[in-house]
């Protein structure tokens, strides 16, 4: 039954590829957007998401309502036309495809992996879907092992430590008022604030979310028009 639910989610998810992003933070690289229905219901940042306001929100709405999007097979065909070795930021808005209960689509991850490996893409993304649910952890570890970097998104150092302990690359949302740039979690994992939030660089030049040590956690300072609400949530 759950497999049917996952495949139904894949049929209703919608996608868009921007071959050259105009986003200053990512730099001029390929980025994708996935419809809102891909987002986890348990995402701790759902109500304060940076993508839910500003210019990106308008684009995300167009992708989600079908006026600026494609279904998954056409989307994979688009990805397969990217130049060999290109950097690719998946899901500048949206998440991996999963059922309503949060079980990740093996079919979709396998499709992404096939394109990433055949084109040797330097691809990465983030997910708020529960890595401890069902086969999710196994799917995420395999994807990371085979060249698709999927970072688990967390909001507390404790949950970040748990994700690291399960063998998954991890990122951490922190208040925009955080003054530290490097520190250690309770489990002694190293945390580094995203370099693009500290100095004049971008994803294209940094690539830390794609290539880093297995126990290095990237911290993202709350940003966007809802960062004040995010700060309250992250420091509560």
pLDDT at 6 over 70: no
Residues 6+ apart with CB under 8 A from 61: none
Contact 222, 231 (CB under 8 A): yes
Q: Per-residue pLDDT tens for 37-53?
A: 999 988 988 888 989 88
Range 208-230 average pLDDT: 90
pTM of the model: 0.94
CA distances from 196 to 5, 23, 107, 112 (A): 38, 12, 33, 26
pLDDT band for position 9 (50/70/90)?
confident
Q: State residue 3's pLDDT score.
A: 57
Contact 153, 131 (CB under 8 A): no
**Among 2-11, 148-157, 167-176, 217-226, the least confident range:** 2-11
Q: Per-residue pLDDT tens for 52-69?
A: 888 899 999 999 999 999
pLDDT at 4 over 60: no
Q: Per-residue pLDDT tens for 89-101?
A: 999 999 999 998 9
Q: Helix 106-119 vs helix 2-12: angle between axes, to the nearest 10 degrees?
A: 50
Q: Distance (Å, rounded) from C-alpha 178 to C-alpha 45?
A: 17
Q: Per-residue pLDDT tens for 83-142?
A: 999 999 999 999 999 998 999 999 999 999 999 999 999 999 999 999 999 999 999 999
Residues 85, 170, 46: CA angle, nearest 5 degrees: 100
Q: Per-residue pLDDT tens for 172-202?
A: 999 999 999 999 999 999 999 999 999 999 9
Q: State residue 91's pLDDT score.
A: 98
Residue position matching structure tokens 């994803």: 203
pLDDT at 1 over 50: no
Range 206-227 average pLDDT: 91
Q: Per-residue pLDDT tens for 140-178?
A: 999 999 999 999 999 999 999 999 999 999 999 999 999
Residues listed for the chain: 236
- Closest of 65, 59, 61 to residue 17, by C-alpha: 59
Residue position matching structure tokens 């105009």: 22
Range 29-34 average pLDDT: 98
Q: State residue 188's pLDDT score.
A: 97
Strands of the chain, DSSP E: 15-18, 30-34, 87-89, 122-127, 149-154, 170-174, 182-184, 190-193, 216-221
């Amino acid at each position: 039954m759950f497999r049917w639910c996952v495949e139904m989610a894949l049929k209703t998810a919608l996608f868009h590829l921007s071959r050259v992003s105009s986003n200053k933070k990512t730099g001029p690289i390929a980025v994708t957007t996935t419809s809102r229905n891909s987002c986890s219901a348990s995402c701790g940042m759902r109500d304060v998401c940076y993508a839910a306001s500003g210019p990106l929100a308008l684009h995300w709405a167009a992708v989600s309502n079908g006026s600026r999007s494609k279904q998954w097979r056409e989307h994979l065909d688009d990805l397969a036309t990217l130049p060999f070795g290109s950097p690719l930021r998946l899901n500048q808005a949206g998440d991996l495809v999963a059922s309503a209960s949060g079980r990740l689509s093996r079919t979709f991850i396998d499709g992404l992996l096939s394109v990433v490996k055949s084109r040797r893409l330097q691809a990465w993304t983030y997910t708020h879907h529960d890595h401890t649910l069902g086969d999710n952890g196994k799917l995420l570890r395999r994807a990371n092992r085979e060249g698709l970097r999927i970072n688990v998104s967390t909001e507390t150092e404790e949950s970040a430590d748990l994700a690291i302990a399960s063998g998954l690359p991890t990122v951490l949302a922190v208040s925009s008022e955080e003054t530290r740039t490097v520190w250690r979690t309770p489990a002694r994992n190293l945390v580094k604030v995203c370099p693009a939030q500290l100095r004049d660089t971008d994803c294209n030049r940094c690539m830390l979310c794609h290539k880093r040590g297995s126990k290095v956690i990237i911290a993202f300072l709350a940003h966007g028009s809802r960062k004040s609400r995010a700060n309250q949530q992250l420091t509560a």
